[in-house]
A and B are shown apart, each in its own frame.
Chain A
Amino acid sequence: MLTRREFLKRGTAIVSIGMLGPTVFERALRESALAAPAGTPTADRTLIIVQLAGANDGLNTVIPYADGRYRDRRQTIAVPEGTELRLNDRLGLHPNLTWFKERWDGGQLAIVEAVGYPKPSRSHFESMAIWQTADRAALAEGWIGRTLRPEVDGTSIRALGIGAQPPLEFIASGFAAPSFSNIQQYRIAPGPGNYDPAPALLRLYNQYPSTAPFAALLDGAMQEVYRSTTALQQIHAAYKPKAEYPNTPFAAGLRVLAEAVNADLGLRVGHVSLGGFDTHDSEINGLPPLLTTLNDGLRALFADLEAHGRADSVAVMVWSEFGRRVYQNGSGGTDHGKGNAMFLVGPPVKGGATYGDPADLGNLDDGDIAFHTDFRSVYATLLNDWLQVEPRAVLGQSYPLLGFMRT
């Protein structure tokens, strides 16, 4: 499997050399279209992807509290019996996931159990790439980039990533999406005497020879910088959140995604990542604050969206690259495992239910939860039932749909 870097180098090289460059006229036209105010189609369905980076411990998140083996195998790090937030006679949520429990009760939280893929990798980086590309092949592109590439229209903002670097999900030839870690810094700085460097920058990047290294990447990125800074700064300046967001970078990122949803920028997919889940050591101290950050951030997001009357148009998918071992290790933590639980949450989700066969503590795969449901079934369901894109066009083959969306 190629690294992300190798893919990008080759992928963009293919675009630069393999495609005829646009004519001067087309480029000029594109440039002038950029300067025009963006006509923005309404996207009434947005998917927000939340990545729990480092491999979240699914068993301490969605707890099989009624199974004695859970506590036997996790003598010091099991969530104390009775503190879990019980969902049914089998499962309970970590006590910090209070908002998730409310959503379960409201029929808006679905849990897919024992999710994974065949021949699992225990490498964070390989497994993340497999999830983010939905592919093990060389040169694999991000699954969201593949999904949204046909919709690129030069006016809407189809995808938005919160983070210093774009998520691999978005990386595909001919697709560029804004990504940044802080909206405050996301503007082209004007010079003295109202000098606006943007027109010169666009021209210089347009003129960069299309056969030069990374030409498509650089030209596309500068256009996207111009377009998205203009649009996002305008809406950010005018935005009045109707909920109080916690003071965390995660929640600040969710707020920016809420702004884009409420402003009808045509946002189809948002991505935000929360890191630190690689709890090899003293999980009892490390995991709970992260789950609180997750819980409180999403609580604020949906409170804000609901107050703006937009919650019905947003579904959230929470994923992590793999689960962790069933047995705790000697440092009060857990090592890399396999099958894991996923969350789908929001008003469009057919919640209050679990999907897929349960994690089986009695039938482990080399000490790990064996996977029962392929993550690409989750993607296929979201593509087919929510984003309304033929799953096979993105995933290359059919996967069973799970039916966790209302529509």
Chain B
Amino acid sequence: MLNERTRIVHLLRRAGFGASRAERERYFALGLNGTLDRLLEDDAIADPVEQQLAGMTFDLTRPQELQRWWFVRMVGTDRPLREKMTLFWHGFLTSAIAKVQQPAFMLNQNKLFRAGAMTTFDAMLKAVTRDPAMLTWLDNRSNQKAAPNENYARELLELYSMGVGNYAETDVKAAARALTGMGVQRDGSYTFRPQLFDSGVKTFLGHTGPFGADDIIAIICRHKATPRFLAGKLFRFFAHENPTDAEIAPMVQAYQASGYSLRAMLRALFSADAFYGDATYRAHITSPAEFVASTYRTLGIPLTARTGADGPRLMQLMGQQLFNPPDPSGWDEGPFWIGTGGLLQRVNFAATLSRSNTVTAAALVDNATSAAAIIDALLSLLVDGAVSAQTRTTLLTQVSAAPAGALPPSGRFGRALELVLSLPEYQFA
């Protein structure tokens, strides 16, 4: 059984991007329930990251600066669950700039995900179906009555709501017809073109009528496969990778009882014992976005123009390019980040950061100078102190061999930080 403080730190890692020492103290004062309330009911929080962003000048017509803009949010936001959900939606209801091409479309989609992060699933599907980035990414802008294009219809069913095995090819074709007529205007805004819409009668998942997009989405959201699929997606993203039916049941119930509320599903997830159990705790391999953003955040490194520029480049080296998932199913998560290339870039990132003067011993280990005190403080901050006695001994030997002095690049502190950030244990959240 994890104690309350450990639960809070675990929740902040999963439902956000980790927390610095100072931030943790603020949440400890709220207790676990108070922390959960603050993460979920965040509408009234005035987010200081908005002011931070206002002081940085980003050219958001450039893809690289778009990535930096988002990275600054991940590290600086005071509404961490909303930001984590934005990443969830990006990897779930994917679009990629490689095909969409227009940075403005990707920016607007990102804002849509953030604003709707914790609304209802039907609202999110209706919004993303009309989203110009999505209309471009899966070609639905050229899906017309006289010439159906079923790309979006298929992925809407397969990847975005129900999963294979719950519908037939005829349902894909019917959905494609219902999704005709949606387009993007020259100014980049959504438009509906009635003359291109197939207003005929369709039969979709056993229902018959002259359906349009919202009718299809309503039928999907009512279908029993949908809450299970969505709950499984959320559970795998936030908790662990092999949920049982019993583990997702509270989220499915919350979906049905609340009119498809995402906030209700998340509350059910973060309140369940399963979320704090052995199968979940420290067993999630972090994605590069989680790994990089939470490292900056946990170490309390304030983002400057330079470090803000670095984050997305580092994620890309580790295999994840924000705004550019590899295909409509998003990134392969978990163990796929631990290929040799990905793991190598993680340990190199740890080394580069620890050898720079970005981090100082004062803030992280209270200026401790003994190898043992430095190591124990960093292990506590970064991996909840959970390593084997053997591993601690290896760290002690390595750090003691480093030149004395607490400052990087060559001192004990830098060596300790480099090795702790490289530990197999730190590849998990």
Contact = CB atoms under 8 A, between A and B. Distances in A.
Interface of A: 4-6, 8-10, 12, 53-54, 121-126, 161, 164-166, 176-182, 185-189, 191-193, 195, 197, 200-201, 203-205, 207-209, 212-215, 217-219, 221-222, 224-225, 228-229, 275-276, 278, 280-281, 329-331, 333, 335-336, 366
20 contacts: A9-B242, A122-B154, A164-B320, A165-B337, A165-B341, A179-B341, A181-B341, A185-B344, A204-B394, A204-B395, A204-B419, A207-B391, A207-B394, A213-B283, A217-B335, A221-B338, A221-B340, A280-B149, A329-B150, A331-B143
Interface of B: 98, 138-139, 142-144, 146-151, 154, 158-159, 164, 169, 236, 241-242, 283, 285, 317-320, 326-329, 332-345, 347-348, 351-352, 355, 388, 390-391, 394-395, 398, 409-410, 415, 418-419, 422-425, 427-428
Contact of B169 (A122, A195, A217): A122
Contact of B344 (A10, A215, A225): A225
Contacts of B154: 122-123, 336
Contacts of A182: 317
Contacts of B355: 191-192
Given A193-B410, A204-B419, A335-B149, A188 B348 contact: yes
Given A164-B318, A331-B142, 4 more contacts: A123-B164, A186-B341, A201-B419, A278-B151
B339 A166 contact: yes
Contacts of A126: 164
A53 B341 contact: no
Contacts of B423: 204
A186 B317 CA distance: 10
Contacts of A218: 338, 343, 424, 427
Contacts of A191: 351, 355, 409-410, 418
Contacts of A229: 344
A124 B336 CA distance: 18
A254 to B, nearest CB: 17
B252 to A, nearest CB: 19
A-B pairs, top 4 by smallest CB distance, nearest first, are A330-B147, A180-B341, A164-B319, A331-B142
Nearest to A366: B169
A178 B341 CA distance: 7
A185 B317 contact: yes
Contact of A165 (B241, B319, B422): B319
Contacts of B340: 166, 176-180, 221, 224-225, 228
Contacts of B317: 182, 185
Given A208-B425, A214-B338, A225 B343 contact: yes
Nearest to A334: B149
A188 B347 contact: yes
A9 B241 contact: yes
Contacts of A221: 338-340, 343
Given A165-B332, A192-B355, A201-B422, A333 B326 contact: no
A357 to B, nearest CB: 25
Contact of B139 (A124, A180, A213, A333): A333
A330 to B, nearest CB: 1
Contact of B142 (A124, A207, A222, A330): A330
Nearest to A222: B343
Nearest to B176: A335
B339 A6 contact: no
B93 to A, nearest CB: 15
Contacts of A213: 283, 428
Contacts of A207: 388, 390-391, 394
Nearest to A167: B339
Contacts of A329: 147-150
Contact of B422 (A197, A215, A224): A197
Given A166-B336, A200-B419, A204-B422, A330 B341 contact: no
Contacts of B139: 280-281, 331, 333
A10 B279 CA distance: 12
Nearest to B419: A200
B408 to A, nearest CB: 9
A10 B242 contact: yes
A6 B409 contact: no
A181 B315 CA distance: 13
B426 to A, nearest CB: 10
A26 B13 CA distance: 37
Contact of A330 (B138, B149, B283): B149
A335 B425 contact: no
A189 B339 contact: no
Nearest to B391: A207
A12 B335 contact: yes
Nearest to B320: A164
Contacts of A205: 424
Contact of B335 (A8, A122, A200): A8
Contacts of A8: 334-336
Contacts of B341: 164-165, 178-181, 185-186
Given A191-B418, A218-B338, A333 B149 contact: yes
A125 B391 contact: no
B292 to A, nearest CB: 14
Contacts of B320: 164
B285 A214 contact: yes
Contacts of B285: 214
Contacts of A5: 236, 241, 332-336
A189 B242 contact: no
Contact of B398 (A125, A200, A222): A200
Given A8-B336, A164-B319, A178-B340, A189 B351 contact: yes
A207 B423 CA distance: 10
A123 B164 CA distance: 9
Contacts of A4: 332, 336
Nearest to B354: A191
Contacts of A336: 154
Contacts of B348: 185, 188-189
B388 to A, nearest CB: 6
A360 B242 CA distance: 43
A165 B332 CA distance: 8
B344 A180 contact: yes
B342 A330 contact: no
Contacts of B142: 281, 330-331
A330 B148 CA distance: 6
A54 B98 CA distance: 14
A200 B394 contact: yes
Which of B148, B318, B342, B425 has most A Cβ within 10 Å?
Answer: B342
Contacts of B344: 180, 185-188, 225, 229
Contacts of B150: 329, 335
A361 to B, nearest CB: 21
A161 B318 CA distance: 15
Contacts of B342: 164-165
A186 B339 CA distance: 12
A124 B410 contact: no
A370 to B, nearest CB: 16
